[in-house]
Amino acid sequence: MTIVLHGRMVVPGSVAGEALVSHEPISGWGGIDPARGVIIEPRHELYGVCFAGKILVFPSAKGSSGWSGFFQTTRLSGTAPSGLVIGRLSAKSALGAVVTRVPAITDLDADPCAVIATGDWVVLANSTVEVTKQ
């Protein structure tokens, strides 16, 4: 089954990959270890999970203004996600997507964290997210 969501590109580009879905907001500083590309916040649903190379689907960015810098460091460390699907954009996540330099999309016509599940195959291109359920 394939579902297509329509939105607005935050960082232009196209990418295909496996989705990693967080239903909770993600912290950058204090929330991820950029050297390993892993979520380290103990109270988080994805605690200990690696996002490197995945298309990270999340509702919003929370916490410190170090958010973008930490995601920039994932790019410089080779642990970055391959794409970002952002439920609700903020200055933190917009700048984070820009400096991670991966295709990113927001303002979708359905809640991406509800429609997409971890492990689904996702194609991000031309202001759409094509989701193939696994």
Partner 1 sequence: MFLTDDEKRMRDGAEGDAVAAAMDLLLRYGAALDADRLCAIRNVAGTMTQPSPVKARLVAEGGWDRAFAVINLDSDRDLTIPPMRVPTCQLQHGFGPDSVDIVPYPRANVDLQSDAEAFYGAHGVQILATCTPYQVGNLPLRGEHCAWMESSAVIYANSVLGARTNCEGVASIGAASLTGRIPCWGNHLDENRFGTHLIAVDGVSVQSFQDWGMLGYFAGTVSGEDRPVVTGSVSRPDLAELKHFGAAAATSGGVELYHIPGITPEAASVAAAFESAVPEPVRYGPAERTAVYETLNEIGTSADVDFVLLGCPHASLDQVRQAAALLDGKRLAAGTELWIMTPRALKVMADRSGYTAVIERAGGRVLADSCPAMSRAAPAGTRVFATDSAKQAHYLPAILGIEAWFGTLEECVAAAVTGRWNGGLR
Q: Which of 25, 38, 134 is nearest to 87 (CA)?
A: 25
- Residue 127 annotated among the catalytic residues of the structure: no
Which position among 60, 64, 90, 127 bears the catalytic label?
Answer: 64
Footprint of partner 1 (CB under 8 A): 8, 10-11, 25, 30-31, 35, 40-42, 60-69, 72-73, 76-77, 88-92, 94-99, 101, 104
Separation of alpha carbons 83 and 79, rounded Å:
12
- Report the residue number, 72 or 82, with the smaller CB distance to partner 1: 72
How near is the Cβ of 42 to partner 1 at its closest, in Å? 6
- Report the residue number, 82 or 100, with the smaller CB distance to partner 1: 100
Residue burial 49-84, b: 16+ Cβ < 10 Å; e: rest:
ebbbbbbbbbbbbbbeebbbebbbbbeeeebbbbbb
- Known catalytic residues are 64
